Amino acid sequence: MSDAPPITVLADQAAYAEAVQLAVDASAAYYGDGTSSLDDDAYDRLVRGIAAYEQAHPDQVLPHSPTGKVAGGAVVGDVPHTVPMLSLDNVFSAEQLADWAASLERRLGRPVTAFSVEPKLDGLAISARYRAGRLTQLVTRGDGVAGEDVSHAIGTIVGLPGRLAEPVTVEIRGEVMMTTEQFEQACAKRTAHDGTTFANPRSAAAGTLRAQDRPYVCELTFFGYAALPSPGDESDLAVRLRELPHSQIMAWVAEQGVRTTAETPVAGIVATSLEQVRERIEQIAAARPELAFGIDGIVIKCDLAEDQAQAGFSSRAPRWATAYKLPATEKITKLVAVEWNTGRTGVIAPRAVLEPVELDGSVVTYATLHNVADITRRGLMLGDSVVVYKAGDVIPRVEAPVVHLRTGDEQPIAFPQVCPTCGDAIDTSQERWRCVRGRACRAIASISYAVGRDQLDIAGLADNRIQQMLDAGLITDFADLFYLTREQLLALERMGEVSTDNLLAAIEHAKSQPLSRVFCALGVRGTGRSMSRRIARHFGTMEAIRAAGAEAIQAVEGIGPEKAPVVVAELAELSDLIDKLVAAGVTMTEPGATPSTSGGEQADAAEAAAALPLAGMSVVVTGAMTGPLETLSRNQMNELIERAGGKASSSVSARTSLLVAGDKAGSKRAKAETLGVRILTPEEFAELVALVPTPA
């Protein structure tokens, strides 16, 4: 849990007045249609700056200041709430959380009996009103006192049933949002309709919730977080909802068929101490990158109704609850330029150059842009304000332009007319543009990759030596390396007898590398080390891989209907290269693989796989290995994991089954401990997989 982020410092009264108006306008847009000129982090810093200025200059406080107001003073809607939908106060560090808890304890005059700890969902708060068990009305938060009627959205929101399990009259409050999958589907529908896209899931959800005349329907998701009886209702249910702990109320809500976070990896829990609260905060923060929906913090509240009643409310927020805000994974910045680079397979890839922006603890200057078609679909222009997104260790990517912030000075992005590396023509027949020379355009990069430690592992072949061989006409691809003679190498400048013999020995050894490494050396688009191992173990031989069609390739875990045809086409393109490797005597089989075709053989193979020591387990390796594993590279460790039936992963998450922690394991070990992941030393892991052959 990090220290509080800095505030926006306001130098004088004029700067304060300008900041107040900016915050009010941004809040109105945020709670209105989901758009804003500020991202969440910038807004939080601005409001904290306003609050600091007002504390120092109480005589200058403006009546429309966003401090002390629900939803920052946004005024949206005319449907009164039965009970105000208040905002939550925020904390940004462990110290501030402790201060809040101490203040709460002083107010109660005793320790808090139990805390409820839940994820703070990044969506729009709404009230769902049920009468006799039937959903009759949906109302947005608005300004907290009144909201907008959006009942037309009934029937389009997953997790918000038209009827509850019981015929009760009740108000369910929660968040409407889009999951990652729903957001992608919504963007595809909007792009097909008018060529534009949504900036981010929150604005997409806000626009969709209010849209009544769109020719297409976008699905939304609801997560409930509260249940309220109608004012004056004294039924048994109403009494229970006023007296039960929050955790029990949420269990009842789930029983009614309403979606809650209970079915997610970040389910709400009850903590009996502040230390347990901190632990759960760390666990939810660690799971954040793997979630199928957005969260921007963790909500901590008194679980017991009596504690809530005694703590009471301020003018804008309950005193018995607070939101621990997490660092932003999404920011708004400027798209300054687009760079075009040719990769080792000949694919021409764009890269966004951004105004530097701090994102999730690091300064981001570059971000991923997939291809020309992606740029066109998103409608990006140079000078655009763009949403940049990063989750966990993922490379930052540009989501979409913030269209309402355009000034008219934006310029179209110029697409390359020739290959930026060699100047030859570009094949534009597919979404991913490619130099017509293919791998030959960046032959040195392709060969250097193939001979790398995790592929063929041919020591002594630096880029300058590869370039020397290319210039001399000795090689055109990495398969030619296996046909080099001692005389040819000795004829090269600065190649003596010892270095020549060492290189030839390394090349000869490379012939015995397993199929997974040979396949990886090919550099097939859409595959890497892990996928190459899966393909090799699935088929067993290069002959079987080459004979497989798209449907057969798709049977490999992690290869979908879009990637499979690309793999088939790539293998056809690499046919001559593969033939040269076969003729040179390079290994084309995978040790330990048991490919099968008949039903009985498939059953036997499945039974054998299930008996492996790491069957079905996701394993992460971190730190320096010791003992029997000391000499293994990280790639060799991953090979060992997969030979033992496991799946090698690079990051710790809620799905991780096992962490192998060597010396100086660092943050991954700490994250695994917070998530309760099983941790083994290298020696313990070696014993676990002792019967599995070590990779060569």
Please identify every residue annotated as catalytic.
120
Q: Which amino acid is at 204?
A: A
SS3 507: helix
SS3 83: coil
Closest C-alpha to 203, from 438, 411, 400, 6? 400
Q: Which amino acid is at 243?
A: E
Contacts of residue 398, defined as CB under 8 A and 6 or more positions apart, other chains included, come to 335, 352, 354, 367, 368, 369, 378, 380, 386, 387, 388, 389
**Integer Cα distance of 158 and 231 in angstroms:** 28
Residue 574 vs residues 477, 479, 558: alpha-carbon distances, Å:
11, 11, 22
Q: Tell me whether residue 196 is exposed, middle or buried, using C-beta atoms within 10 angstroms of its C-beta: 0 to 12, 13 to 18, 19 or more.
A: middle
Pairing mode, strands 321-325 and 89-91: parallel
Q: What are phi and psi of 371, to 5 degrees?
A: -165, 180
Strand ranges across the sheet with 618-622: 647-649, 618-622, 658-661, 678-680
Closest C-alpha to 525, from 490, 562, 496? 562
Instruction: Convert 161-199 into a string of H (helix), E (strand) and C (coil).
Output: CCECCCCCCEEEEEEEECCHHHHHHHHHHHHHHHCCCCC
Helical residues (DSSP H) of 175-293, grouped into ranges: 180-194, 201-210, 236-243, 246-255, 274-287
Q: Which amino acid is at 15?
A: A
Residues in the chain, overall count? 696
